[in-house]
Structure 1
Amino acid sequence: MRLCDPPLADSYSEVCHKSSMPHGLDMQQEQDQELCYVAQCELPVVDLRGLRSLEEEERRACMEAIAEASAEWGFFQALNHGISSELLREMRSEQIKLFDLPFEKKLLNDSYRWGNPTAAAPRQFSWSEAFHFPLARISEDFKSGMFGVARAVAVAEELAGEMSELASRLAGVLAERLQGHSGQGFPEGCNKTTCFLRLNHYPACPLSADVFGLTPHTDSDFLTLLFQDHVGGLQLLKDSKFWVAVKPIPDALIVNIGDLFQAWSNDVYRSVEHKVMANAKMDRYSIAYFLCPSRESAIGSCKEPSSVYRKFTFGEFRRQVEEDVMITGQKVGLPRFRRLK
């Protein structure tokens, strides 16, 4: 009998067996353990009602708070974001039903992901499963798995639509703060065929407390919206010095900057490394929305021609990430695209 479904324990054991480091640890994990861990903390909290205010001063103060958090932390928690708690909780309920399906049935769906089949060391392994799909294919992808989960599809499509509007508005605010004029319509090339919704499940992990639910990474998009449950486990790397455990706030959305926004902002806004730690006793669920352009989209910079990054398309960026992961086992990301001095 498996310790969990999907068979993450079996897969993790195989990775540990292949690893040449004693006790399944490698150098990266040892370095990670040397970093100071702090108690749970609250990220900057921004009340987004200010964006809807008729008072210009209140609206400007809200925009400034969003920009400051994005520059200092790369993350913030958004309250009064306009997405109803009822919709978010219904999506959570439908999400749990989806992940409760038998592993063999979930495998029928092309959008289903679990563990990390390319992991060659414990630090590359993620103790999690997910449904990851472009917004335009939510209904089609679920039908391909013959799930018979019509309500889950309807709720996911409704939530994706509302998250799309919010992500676009926040991106416009951040662009406006740097450009000095309206950021409406920024970034270009983002639509239902390019943006993604991801339903995450982190099963309780019967192994070490050091196992990653999701390995350390930065997001390869412009902006991410995340709705997490009460369990916690999300940690971010503050000032490249120590990991901070993010304290969940009921009904809040976590907003974080992605690699593309850091490049476009010329390093004003920060795409910060983050991870999820597995929980020994409790399952964790989260819902993520990724604001992505088409692969043909040129990223550019608000500081041209003095950008610290060379020009590249999103497709080039993704190909380089995939190549690095295949060769080195980990993402390199933006440093590959810095201009040579």
Structure 2
Amino acid sequence: MNGEDVPPFHETYKFLFEKEGPTKCIKAAMVVEEEQLPVIDLGKLWNGEGEECKEEIARASREWGFFQVINHGISKEILEKMTREQVKVFKQPFEKKKGKESRSYLNFSAGAYRWGTPTATSLCDLSWSEAFHIPMLDISDSPTLDTALSLTMEEFATRVADLAQKIAEILAEKLGCKSNFFQENCLPSTCYLRMNRYLPCPMSLQVFGLMPHTDTDFLTILHQDQVGGLQLVKDGKWIAVKPNPDGLIVNIGDLFQAWSNDVYKSVEHRVVANPFVERFSTAYFFCPSFETVVHSDSGEASVYRKFSFGEYKKQVEVDVKELGHKVGLPRFLV
């Protein structure tokens, strides 16, 4: 795929392809089967089946770490508009996306635009994708919030934030926690939006669209197109997630696994590269402030020591820089 909107993957990572050669294959396409995630109808919360719905959410979080929600209250019109607007941005020339012109045009702070994997030392570490990772403060506090994209992001994020709060409260309730932890600590101003574009990749068996990882937050809510490519680990094997046109994907992050004392699972997942079709998605990361301390109040012996979100993020950054990959929760075991 060539074009002025495409990042220079071949030139930038030429040394990796020369070092490892065309026969290097990470088996990204070897998946046992495609499966539908648990699909939870949130309409049950308001039609007399609320307890059943809450148990379904908790069960999926324990057994899968991932699930899809339908009747989630976010209109198809908003979701389609979000996709249209982000496609327009990604189709801008690469030089414009990565330069100062991008920040003035999009009202994003420096570093919002990311592509590839700067720390990659092998093909297994390379992600064939580009993204805008945007603190919600960049949107809500922007004095020039007048672009169609910014307005659409704000509309999308406002509704998804409410959904994330609701799901977090349900998961806390099913743990027996009645506190206002999430209302007090996970504010719109502490959360992030990430727009992703996975470009067609001629070496799709050699690199990932997004390398295997777990999410660092409490919850991630994902809106994706119908191209597919998301995979996750279930019962020790990789499976492909079948897209649901009516669903949003919800997954547990590291912080929720620690906060729940390993009851809810932050599951490793990845995106495989597609040789022919590009894929778009938008993720909302439900995060606390950096000062927020994460620990379990379950009454049982804690699996993890107390740590702040800022401490956790810093450790992840150190590990990625020094080791080339994230270590995550094992660093914080008691």
2:193 match: secondary structure: strand
Cα distance between partner residues in 1 of 2:62 and 2:317: 27
Q: In structure 2, which of residues 165, 174, 178 is the aligned counterpart of residue 177 of structure 1?
A: 174
Q: CA deviation at 1:140?
A: 6.6
Q: How big is each residue's C-alpha offset from its partner over 1:56-109, in whole Å with a ceiling of 9 and x where there is no partner?
A: xx1000000000000000000111011001100011001100000000110123
Letter in 1 for 2:84: S
Q: Which residue of 2 aligns with 1:93?
A: 84
Tell me whether 1:316 sits opposite 2:307 in the alignment: no
Q: CA deviation at 1:330?
A: 0.6
Q: Which residue of 2 aligns with 1:162?
A: 159
Q: Does the 8 Å CA contact 1:73/1:272 hold for their aligned counterparts?
A: yes
User: Size of the alignment, in residue pairs?
Assistant: 323
Q: CA deviation at 1:305?
A: 5.9
Q: Which residue of 1 aligns with 2:45?
A: 51
Letter in 2 for 1:171: A
Q: How big is each residue's C-alpha offset from its partner over 1:262-317, in whole Å with a ceiling of 9 and x where there is no partner?
A: 00101100000000011111010001000001111100113256111011111111
Q: Is 280-289 or 190-199 further displaced after alignment?
A: 190-199
Q: Which residue of 2 aligns with 1:74?
A: 65
Cα distance between partner residues in 2 of 1:176 and 1:115: 39
Q: Which residue of 1 aligns with 2:245?
A: 250
Q: CA deviation at 1:202?
A: 0.5
Q: Does the 8 Å CA contact 1:187/1:293 hold for their aligned counterparts?
A: no
Tell me whether 1:127 sits opposite 2:128 in the alignment: yes
Q: Does the 8 Å CA contact 1:174/1:183 hold for their aligned counterparts?
A: no
Amino-acid identity (%): 51
Q: Is 296-305 or 222-231 further displaced after alignment?
A: 296-305
Cα distance between partner residues in 1 of 2:233 and 2:21: 26
CA-atom RMSD in angstroms? 2.2
* Residues 149 and 212 (structure 1), Cα distance of their counterparts in 2 relative to 1, 3 Å cut: farther
Q: Does the 8 Å CA contact 2:62/2:265 hold for their aligned counterparts?
A: yes
Q: Which residue of 2 aligns with 1:263?
A: 258
Q: Which residue of 1 aligns with 2:107?
A: none
Q: Does the 8 Å CA contact 1:127/1:212 hold for their aligned counterparts?
A: yes
Cα distance between partner residues in 2 of 1:141 and 1:132: 16
Cα distance between partner residues in 2 of 1:192 and 1:2: 37
Cα distance between partner residues in 2 of 1:46 and 1:334: 28
Where does 1:139-288 land on structure 2 (aligned, <5 Å)? 150-179=147-176, 182=178, 184-186=180-182, 188-239=184-235, 241-288=236-283
Letter in 2 for 1:278: A
Q: How big is each residue's C-alpha offset from its partner over 1:223-250, in whole Å with a ceiling of 9 and x where there is no partner?
A: 00001101000000112x2101000000
Q: Does the 8 Å CA contact 2:198/2:279 hold for their aligned counterparts?
A: yes
Q: CA deviation at 1:117?
A: 1.3
Cα distance between partner residues in 2 of 1:172 and 1:309: 21
Q: Which residue of 1 aligns with 2:106?
A: none
Letter in 2 for 1:157: E
Q: Is 209-218 or 328-337 further displaced after alignment?
A: 209-218
Q: CA deviation at 1:210?
A: 3.8
Cα distance between partner residues in 2 of 1:336 and 1:227: 31
Q: CA deviation at 1:198?
A: 0.6
Cα distance between partner residues in 2 of 1:119 and 1:211: 11
Where do 5+ consecutive residues of structure 1 fail to align?
none
1:288 match: secondary structure: strand
1:186 match: secondary structure: helix
Q: Does the 8 Å CA contact 2:16/2:121 hold for their aligned counterparts?
A: yes
Cα distance between partner residues in 1 of 2:140 and 2:254: 29
2:233 match: secondary structure: strand
Q: How big is each residue's C-alpha offset from its partner over 1:186-231, in whole Å with a ceiling of 9 and x where there is no partner?
A: 2642123310011100111122334200000000000000011010
Cα distance between partner residues in 1 of 2:308 and 2:257: 14
Letter in 1 for 2:200: A
- The runs of at least 4 consecutive aligned structure 1 residues that moved more than 3 Å come to 1-4, 21-26, 139-143, 181-185
Letter in 1 for 2:214: T
Tell me whether 1:64 sits opposite 2:55 in the alignment: yes
Tell me whether 1:106 sits opposite 2:107 in the alignment: no
Where do 5+ consecutive residues of structure 2 fail to align?
104-109
Q: Does the 8 Å CA contact 2:123/2:206 hold for their aligned counterparts?
A: no
2:242 match: secondary structure: coil
Letter in 2 for 1:42: Q
Cα distance between partner residues in 1 of 2:263 and 2:227: 32
* Residues 70 and 242 (structure 1), Cα distance of their counterparts in 2 relative to 1, 3 Å cut: same
**TM-score calculated relative to the size of structure 1:** 0.89
Letter in 2 for 1:105: K
